[in-house]
Structure 1
Amino acid sequence: MFENMDIFSNIDKEIIKDMKSRGLIKIYEKDEIIFSEAEEKSNVYLVCSGKIILYRSSEEGDEKIIYILGSGDFLNEVCIDDKNTSANAKVMEDSKIICFSKRDIISWMRRDFNFNMIIMNSLSNKLRRSFRQIKNLGLKKTNYRIAARLWKLARDYGCSSDENIHIDINMTHSQLASMVGTSRESVSRFLKNIERKNIIKQKNQKIIICSLSKLEDYTKSLS
């Protein structure tokens, strides 16, 4: 299993053996909660298949989606600082996840610098994405934020077919709105607008990018 993940290609073989023997495989169904913010969780999770939403909740119960994570991504690696979880994790589609104890993760980080860098890179990537989101939420208009997020989703989860790019996520307008900090109605209006311009198509809760270059040009025109 781990041998098929590029991130582990340079890891000490003994650590790979340990991961196989110590990791606990769990199967989660859509909408199951893996953990909630402020919980004491001393486990680190590795996504093997499926999609996971990492999000924060407001006092009013509104959700702000921070990331969508997939195969090869870690969850709750921040627990190595001995503090409570800082976000919620919910299953977006049926997923297989491997659970490791924090103690094992720290031990492997000490034993193998390459493993240490995997965890550090995972944290760094999330931090950089958070910085981009803060910039967009504070400085960019709503339509730009939606278009930019579509471009990012197409790059991360796009599958090419007949010159189109299918975003391989069953995503509601409400979820997209939660990602960019706006209302579902604003997202629906924007998607209908760019659908009329033949930039995207919508089918069965999936968004198809008809032309990535058109979407990119349109995004630039909104900045």
Structure 2
Amino acid sequence: MNYDYLGDSLTKECLNNLLRVSQCQEFKQGETLFLEHSFCDSVYFIISGNVTVYKDNSDGRRKIIYLLGENSFLNDTMIYDDLNKTSISCDAFTDVKVLIIPLKELRILLSKYPDLSILIIKSLSKKTKRLYRQLKNTTTISMDKRIAAKLWKLAKDFGYEHKEFHGFTVKVNNTYLADMLGTNRETVSRGIKKLKELGLVKVENNQIFILKSKMKDFYRR
């Protein structure tokens, strides 16, 4: 099992104790790791694969908050919440392998190892910054620029070079983008069409590729 990220961030003693109290579990693509408002007594750490973190709106529409990959903590806000109930839902976007860390044991380790506390704080801080960015993009820019910003961020997190363009190591389609942006598929399709006309996006074999070098300039204008 590859724990390089944890090993680089934690002392050997802390890592060994963390692994001692945890267990590894695998989920198939589409399986649910946990649902919003459900009881949960563990924190999850992604070893490999990707997950979708989301909330269901009152009208039943899904709003995707994060697409997270390896070396990410899930439901870490529960560490400081005595209710032990999740505030989000999480599904496996691909086959995924996670480390399940019991909250009771994790809280003990946090009080003993400052490096583990720092790692959790960094995780929470990163998610908070992403939420701020999402809020800004939701309220201040047009939909085509929101789509461009989301595609640029996905390319940054999950991208690979494809000639002068960037593709995605995860399969992102218009429906998934709509759930990420809190809109409908038709609106995303129109936005993608405009980005294609501007030469910022191309679609090959139902896969989206973006001109990452110019996409940021477009949505920041």
Question: When the two structures are superposed, what TM-score results if normalisation uses the length of structure 1?
Answer: 0.91
Quote the Cα distance in structure 2 between the aligned partners of 1:67 and 1:205. Answer: 23
Q: Percent of aligned pairs with the same residue?
A: 31
User: Alignment partner of 1:9: what SS?
Assistant: helix
Query: How many angstroms does 1:22 deviate by?
Result: 2.3
User: 1:40-69 CA deviation, whole Å, 9 max, x = no partner?
Assistant: 111100001111010000122100000011
User: 1:102-148 CA deviation, whole Å, 9 max, x = no partner?
Assistant: 11211221111111011111111111211221222222221121111
Aligned residues: 219
Letter in 1 for 2:173: T
For residues 18-33 of structure 1, what are the structure 2 equivalents within 5 Å?
18-33=17-32
Letter in 2 for 1:186: T
Quote the Cα distance in structure 2 between the aligned partners of 1:217 and 1:70. Answer: 26
Aligned to 1:214: 214
Quote the Cα distance in structure 2 between the aligned partners of 1:108 and 1:45. Answer: 15
Aligned to 1:201: 202
Quote the Cα distance in structure 2 between the aligned partners of 1:61 and 1:53. Answer: 17
Letter in 2 for 1:215: M
Matched, 1:187 2:175: no
User: Alignment partner of 2:98: what SS?
Assistant: strand
Query: How many angstroms does 1:3 deviate by?
Result: 4.1
Give 5+ residue unaligned stretches, structure 1.
none
Contact 1:2 1:8 in 2 (8 A): no
CA gap of 1:66–1:205, structure 2 versus 1, over 3 A, is farther
Q: 4+ residue runs of structure 1 moved beyond 4 angstroms? A: none
Matched, 1:62 2:71: no
User: Alignment partner of 2:219: what SS?
Assistant: helix
Letter in 1 for 2:130: R
Query: How many angstroms does 1:205 deviate by?
Result: 4.6
User: Alignment partner of 1:195: what SS?
Assistant: helix
Query: How many angstroms does 1:204 deviate by?
Result: 4.4
Contact 1:77 1:123 in 2 (8 A): yes
